[in-house]
Amino acid sequence: MVAKKLSLVLTAAWLAAAPLMAAPAWAEDAPPPPAQAPEQKTDAPPAPKEEPGLKEVLSEFLGKAEQSLPTQGKRLPLGNAELQLSFAPLVKTTGPAVVNVYASQQVRVRSPFAGDPLFEQFFGGQFGGGQAPQRLQSALGSGVLVDPSGIVVTNNHVIKDADEVKVATSDGREFPSKVLLKDDSLDLAVLKIEDSKPFPVIPVGDSDALEVGDLVLAIGNPFGVGQTTTSGIVSALARSHIGVSDFGFFIQTDAAINPGNSGGALINMGGQLVGINTAIFSRSGGSIGIGFAIPSNMVRAVVESAKQGRDYFERPFIGATFEPVTAAIAESLGMAQPAGALVSAVSADGPAAKAGLKPGDVVLSLNDIAIEHVDALGYRLATLSIDNPATLNILSQGAEKKVEITPVRPPEGASAAEITIDGESPFSGAKVTALSPRLAQRLGMPSEAKGVAIIDIQRGSSAGEFGFMPRDIVREVNGATIDTPEKLKLAAAEKTRWWRFTVERNGQLMRQVLRY
């Protein structure tokens, strides 16, 4: 009876697996199979058939499934032996290259009573008077050793504004580190530690080879409890606009990622680094199975910049800006669906102009890799090598064609002069310079940004008191258009008490009128 019930269950499972199994079929022109002779009836009762046991039923079911599944590529585990496989050998190989990153900084604690005249009258400097006390603020994250010389990759938000960064390896050793490179827009940082012996590393793999459904492991130090490994699959690729950085091409995984995992390793079943765990989507602060990692191909490009001695990631420059292809734009261009990136502007004499790109063209693929959206193109361009030609497939005036483009280093611009504004104006104490594509990248601004930008502000200066910030672009002062640092210095020297100025911050124009 048990065997009959099991047979019914397995029959249902067999029907569910029917697409995986090869069903018998005959060609249309082939003769039908020969009819079998009818069985001769006898008066003897048929011998009772022995019902197969559980072992025989499962063996037959798994055997037929194994024969019907594809023999190439990836497949489901089959049989009890494969279900007992373990990730332990993989973790033993890669675990020693995942480190803990400790960042600390001294911050001043401002009293809630500071500046209150009532409390200062009665208690003097006890409540905010004089120098505010300092407190040590710490941050904990993870990192990955990617070079035997001691190069560590982590997230920028782990070490941001830190006065001291230490790295602890899995064997308990602790090393001071030097920050080689950090990029806020990508949320990546590269550290360097020193030792007389080479460090264990995780080889950097090709994140473009990942597919949705691939098995991955996440290794890090969640909540500071110690090195922890979790498993999952690749849930999605090319995730954008998740709100943690300007980067828009994340790997999504359901492997548990928690606070402290930031900067840790996401590895594939070949023991290769395919991502740096960066963020989670959560309402409680813990993992709910929606985590995001920066692809390893982006990590490789950033590490190469650090090895070349740069303290920021220099993106290849092609001299063009792009925008999304909306449904309306796709329809007007005769495209079947919205995809690719629309060319919105082309710089004169840049690589894009030389390649023949024009506003209105749509980039469909780069090096035969389809471009799903504008963020995907930004990622693909950022991972290109400078001076290494690439092939773009574009839609131009209703026809597809291929063009070759060679990315270059961002131009420096005609003038690199830096001027510090003095005098009695609201801009006093601000250091300004003319933007170039290279400087804009260094400041974490779009390469196409132009104008006179504030790059530094003296502490306690008028510019600081009025709320000016580095990366602000001064557009206009008292009716005069500002396009050179010299013009801003001249406008700031005007003898007046009334000031009208326009400043661009993060793409937004702010106009201010004040008496000073």
Catalytically active residues, by annotation: 157, 187, 262
Task: Report the C-alpha gap between 314 and 300 in whole angstroms.
Answer: 13
Quote the tokens at residue 132: 């505010």
Distance CA 268, CA 265 (A): 10
Q: Rounded distance, CA 302 to CA 187, Å?
A: 11
* Three-state DSSP state, 285: coil
Helix (H) or strand (E) holding 462: helix 462-465
Element (H, E) at 138: strand 134-147
Query: Tokens in use for 210?
Result: 């990942």
Render 35-78 in DSSP notation, one character per residue: PPPPPPP-SSPPPPPPPP-HHHHHHHHHHHHHHHS-SSS-----
Sign of the alpha-carbon torsion through 447, 450, 455, 457: negative
**How many C-beta atoms lie closer than 10 Å to residue 334's C-beta?**
8
User: Locate tokens 């782990």: which residue?
Assistant: 158
Contact predicate 478/501, CB 8 Å: yes
The amino acid at 301: A
How wide is the angle at C-alpha 297 spanned by C-alphas 292 and 302, nearest 5°? 95
Closest CA to 174 of 102, 123, 236: 102
Please state the separation of Cα 283 from the chain's center in Å: 21
What is the β-pairing status of strands 473-477 and 480-481?
antiparallel
Q: Provide the b/e sequence for 448-468 (b: ≥16 CB within 10 Å).
A: ebebbbbbebeeebbbeebeb
Q: Identify which of 109, 189, 126 has the alpha carbon closest to the alpha carbon of residue 155.
A: 189
Distance CA 184, CA 186 (A): 5
Residue pair 336/369 in contact (Cβ under 8 Å)? The answer is no
State the DSSP code for 19: G
